[in-house]
Amino acid sequence: MRVGVLALQGAVREHRAAIERLSVESRAVKSERDLAGVDGLVFPGGESTTMALLAEGRLADALRRLSADGLPMFGTCAGMILLADEVQGRVGPIVGGINIAVARNASGRQVDSFETTLDVHGVGPDVHAVFIRAPYITRVGPDVEVLAWHNQVAVMARQGRILVASFHPELTADLRVHRLFVDMIRGSCGKGA
Ligand code: GLN
């Protein structure tokens, strides 16, 4: 199994390290070419506006196609914004694939970033969650399962092969969320994808 990490900007190294600690090969994805042969793709945190601009063109087209084709994808923070079908204040998704709306920087300014622990459905209790100018999920479609809440706000969700989180599991030593994604990829491989 090989997991790609979109490597335009943001917490790329941290995601690759988490994946490799699970004994799974990772690959930095900088262009459309790097997508060949990946079994899943991580969209890291960073700055979603910058990532959207850097991806525009062939890479963004390829990402939209793969999302529609059902490649397993996992977006954290800015990566969640890329995968949301609706981004408040923007017409149309950046990549899209999960039927949620998100509000950018909903947890406030940089100084308002915070850490907490969450109960994550299917992952376990006390998941260490780092929020950095985090987006929040403001609408959830009927096929979307919310996996974690913080102060009555949805902060982690899944629809089929797409997993998103407002926070940054790659910045902690806790590998359980990455393990969930690797298990999702294994599940979809088993179904012949
Ligand atoms: N606020 C950033 C954005 O909108 C996301 C922050 C992050 O990924 N840590 O792109």
Query: Where exactly are the structural domains of the chain?
Result: 2-189
Ligand 1 centroid distance, CA of 175 (Å): 21
What residue type is assigned to position 138 of the chain?
A: T
Q: Are 57 and 50 in contact (CB under 8 A)?
A: no
Report yes or no: 96 and 84 within 8 Å, Cβ to Cβ.
Answer: yes
Q: According to DSSP H, which parts of 70-175 are helical?
A: 78-83
- Tell me, using a 6 A CB cutoff, whether residue 32 lines ligand 1: no
What pLDDT tens digit does each residue of the chain (193 aa) get? Answer: 999 999 999 999 999 999 999 999 999 999 999 999 999 999 999 999 998 888 789 999 999 999 999 999 999 999 999 999 999 999 999 999 999 999 988 766 655 789 999 999 999 999 999 999 899 999 999 999 999 999 999 999 999 999 999 999 999 999 999 999 999 999 875 444 4
User: Ligand 1 centroid vs 163 CA: distance in angstroms?
Assistant: 17
Please indicate whether residue 47, judged by its CB atom, sits closer than 6 Å to ligand 1: yes
Read off the pTM: 0.94
Neighbours of 113 (CB within 10 A): 15
Strands (E), 23-131: 25-29, 40-43, 73-76, 84-87, 98-103, 114-120, 124-131
**CATH topology for the 2-189 domain:** Rossmann fold (3.40.50)
Residue nearest to atom 2 of ligand 1 (CA): 47
- The pLDDT assigned to 191 comes to 46
